[in-house]
Structure 1
Amino acid sequence: MSAELSYAHGTGTTPLLGDTIGGNLQRAVEAWPDRDALVDVPSGRRWTYAHFGAAVQELALGLLASGVAKGDRVGIWAVNCPEWVLVQYATARIGAIMVNINPAYRTHELAYVLKQSGISVLISSSGHKGTDYREMVRQVASECPQLRERVFIGEPSWDALVAGGSGVRYEQLAAREAELSCDDPVNIQYTSGTTGFPKGATLSHHNILNNGYWVGETVGYTEQDRVCLPVPFYHCFGMVMGNLGATSHGACIVIPAPSFEPAATLRAVQEERCTSLYGVPTMFIAELNLPDFASYDLSSLRTGIMAGSPCPAEVMKRVVAEMHMAEVSICYGMTETSPVSLQTRRDDDLERRTGTVGRVLPHIEVKVIDPVTGVTLPRGEPGELCTRGYSVMLGYWGEPERTAEVVDAGRWMHTGDLAVLREDGYAQIVGRIKDMIIRGGENIYPREIEEFLYGHPAIADVQVVGVPHEKYGEEVLACVILRDAADGLTLDELRAYCRDRLAHYKVPTRLRILDAFPMTVSGKVRKVELREGYGEL
């Protein structure tokens, strides 16, 4: 009998949602008008679904009054705040395309995004933690002829935008909404490439509404849930898995702080009796390591989502036991797939939550292929993970050639990730194709070595990369953060630990001890910087 192929199709008894984001929000407003929809802990402001729906409508009318047409791009450059959420839903209601701009961008990157997407209206924070957004916008405005209006949250320009809607009749909004299809583009998210400028993944109502809904379904959201979101809204984690996951179930969005602060996050969970908490593993580690962690009452927590990078087993054990998150879920995805393709289930054991990224979600397909031939591999063999279904982006904004590089003729999105699809249908990510080390013709998957080295008593964190080698092409460099810097660790000690337990070609031949790893703003380690920074002897 031939081996089972690395292909899985998520089936479900519940059909996909066919409405727009605005239509779906209206259903929530009608079903749960008196339940909390949005709470901003720093300012103490809160909205019921009835109030939230009215505020979204008021802003939508204001955008219509300012001349925003269907398909126009409206930029949002802000840290987490209630206005960010209002802009998300108001732009969706009028058929505009909201462009997420990373709050960490500097003028060079800001100018690129404004021009590349053709933003006509920019809604921005005035500043955050010493960064003057207003001045940065002023510096680049002359380069962006399509930018005709600048609005700053909390300032008179914001108030004027909202007030402008009083002169627009509701019938004009209803007429605009009647023109909208769930397949219309509604969002552009720029993905940080390791080379060149970022690409604008263009997502439809259908893409992100359904993905948020299914992520919420998988963790069992109802109108009783209160979701604490310390993750950034400008990223799919916050605005899709968070905001849309909540509103599609009548749950409440809780904003603990403008940007991540571990103490503020736990305080928000305690005060607002949150049932769900999101974060990348480093966020959960920071919360667990607070000196007064034990003083917070986290007993209201039931579930949450951890994504962005692999979760060490010891951290997961503490999250489940000490944070009361018995049903915490691991998600895997990418911006181009709205984002989640694979997710662990509420009753999965520790091994599946720490050793895999879950199994395929309903209405999505995944397969693992040979990166060279494109042929689907037998289960258990590593290859490139591809995904297909409602979640695959419309394309990169204005860049059909770059779209064709990752979405093939069969509408499969090629993730660039190396994965193994197990016999039980759960997937393991073993690395990135570009991170794979080829030493003397042997394929080495850094993730395997990293998982092994996590067991070393002196090592708190580790990243493995390939660096140039004259004879073998590449050799293995281990970059480690020590539990206690005073203890030290030598290459000979590390190699002795690996000997007899790893194949000789996988044993690191180089070691760098670091205080911290270079990170992207979304919490992922920048391996390219490790390779470039420590590749020379």
Structure 2
Amino acid sequence: MGAPMFHSMGFFFALNGLAQGLTTVVMTDAATRAGLRGMLEAAQRWEVTEMTVAPPVVLGMTKDRCRLTSLVRVVCGGAPLPTSVAEQFRRRFPHVDLCMAGGISLMIDRDECSRVGSAGRISHNVEVKIVDIVTGEPLPVGRKGELCVRGPSIMTGYVGDDGANTAAFDSEGWLKTGDLCYIDEDGFLFVVDRLKELIKYPHEEAGEIPMALVVRQPGSKVTEAQVMEHVAKQVAPYKKVRKVVFVDSIPKSPAGKILRRQLSDHMQPCHVSRL
């Protein structure tokens, strides 16, 4: 199990193993400190058949010389997995099913793992619709919009926060996920982006990394390194900014809201700091 217990992926993966009477291998502190090598050695030692991992681990496995002959299935989640990495993995481990985990609204069986980029088909006990992000009207197959879900497995609301509940649910009880998605003609769901999210820059090794767009004050000579060092002192390690782009202005709507969708124009491939 390569996902923390406080995350739904780790929690449900552990419960699934217990329900089926399977041996579940949990990483020790020592193995965790050893990083990818510690995890792969544990997988070899215990002849693990199924693993939960994040995209950086999938990439690491393609570059490692490990021989995981017992491995049958790898479930990847937590961030988008680049198609190029998925293809590398399948060439390196042709006997292993690589599946993307898409949350409680989705399910993936072995026949669906071959659909690169898809988060799977919809579970039988969950209703799903894709709606226009402006009008809220349902969209047809193939059109990108916000994913909305409803069903007995969906959370019922935030405790003591009426404002958050009003923002998260519509009048008919649909949960607005904030995910930009589309569904193809075969019923496979594809997650394209987040409508409300940190500004993240696509990166092959990490999947996504935090990025900052900064408007300098007139006459300021602040550098990329100075911005990253300042942010690093204020946040947890995984939230450190890895890329800084200086811009003339931040695009905003007439109401003053930042137009995040337009910020993607600044996200062109270039050097990424390892600070």
TM-score normalised to the size of structure 2?
Answer: 0.71
Partner of 1:508: none
Partner of 1:387: 149
Pick from 249, 253, 272 the counterpart of residue 46 of structure 2.
272
If asked which structure has higher relative contact order (CA below 8 Å, sep 6+), I would say 1
Residue-by-residue CA offset, 1:296-329 (whole Å, 9 max, x unaligned)? 3311011121011111223223433434553222
Unaligned residue ranges in structure 2 (runs of 5+): 214-246, 253-261
Unaligned residue ranges in structure 1 (runs of 5+): 1-228, 334-339, 438-445, 481-511, 518-537
Higher-helix-fraction structure: 1
Shift of 1:472: 6.7
1:237 is the counterpart of 2:9? yes
Root-mean-square deviation (CA, aligned residues, Å) is: 3.2
Q: SS at 2:266's partner residue?
A: strand
Report matched runs for 1:62-461 at 5 Å: 229-240=1-12, 242-258=13-29, 259=32, 261-289=35-63, 293-294=64-65, 296-323=66-93, 326-333=96-103, 340-348=104-112, 350=114, 352-353=115-116, 355-434=117-196
Residue-by-residue CA offset, 1:485-537 (whole Å, 9 max, x unaligned)? xxxxxxxxxxxxxxxxxxxxxxxxxxx521349xxxxxxxxxxxxxxxxxxxx
The answer (yes or no) to whether the contact 1:465–1:477 under 8 Å persists in 2 is no
Residue-by-residue CA offset, 1:389-423 (whole Å, 9 max, x unaligned)? 12211322332331232123322111011111112
What residue identity is the alignment partner of 1:331?
Answer: A
| Higher Cα radius of gyration | 1
For 1:460 and 1:307, how far apart are their aligned partners in 2? Answer: 12
Residue-by-residue CA offset, 1:253-278 (whole Å, 9 max, x unaligned)? 11133347211211111111111011
For 1:383 and 1:301, how far apart are their aligned partners in 2? Answer: 36
What residue identity is the alignment partner of 2:106?
Answer: L
Shift of 1:348: 3.1
Partner of 1:206: none
The answer (yes or no) to whether the contact 1:366–1:388 under 8 Å persists in 2 is yes
Q: SS at 2:38's partner residue?
A: helix
For 1:233 and 1:461, how far apart are their aligned partners in 2? Answer: 22
For 2:274 and 2:169, how far apart are their aligned partners in 1? Answer: 35
Higher-strand-fraction structure: 1
Q: SS at 2:167's partner residue?
A: helix
Residue-by-residue CA offset, 1:104-143 (whole Å, 9 max, x unaligned)? xxxxxxxxxxxxxxxxxxxxxxxxxxxxxxxxxxxxxxxx
Q: SS at 1:424's partner residue?
A: coil
Q: SS at 1:376's partner residue?
A: coil
Partner of 2:271: 513
Percent same amino acid at aligned positions?
A: 27
The answer (yes or no) to whether the contact 1:299–1:323 under 8 Å persists in 2 is no
For 2:74 and 2:82, how far apart are their aligned partners in 1? Answer: 16
